């Protein structure tokens, strides 16, 4: 069960990295003082995927610790 959450977290982390790479190399994006609001879809997507991956990795780690303590 815990390994499923960890695998999903790593997959979401890889998708977030790919989304950030698309933003940087295809659209020439990034956050700068002159251009805070992006018109691209990929920058907000990468932040959302980073949050999801962090949640999945934390849940997976908590399940592993709970199983190890029994």
Report the chain's mean pLDDT, rounded to a whole number: 84
Q: Look at residue 64 in the predicted model and tell me its pLDDT.
A: 92
Confidence of residue 70 (pLDDT cuts 50, 70, 90): confident
Dist CA 59 CA 53 (whole Å): 10
Predicted TM-score (pTM) of the model is 0.75
Burial of 60 (0-12, 13-18, 19+ CB in 10 A): buried
Q: Look at residue 45 in the predicted model and tell me its pLDDT.
A: 86
Nearest to 20 by CA among 8, 61, 7, 12: 12
């Amino acid at each position: 069960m815990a390994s499923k959450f960890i695998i999903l977290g790593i997959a979401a982390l890889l998708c977030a990295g790919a989304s950030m790479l698309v933003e940087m190399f295809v659209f020439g994006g990034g956050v700068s003082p002159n251009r805070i609001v992006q018109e691209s879809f990929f920058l907000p997507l990468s932040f959302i995927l980073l949050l999801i991956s962090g949640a999945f990795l934390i849940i997976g780690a908590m399940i592993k610790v709970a199983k190890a303590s029994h």
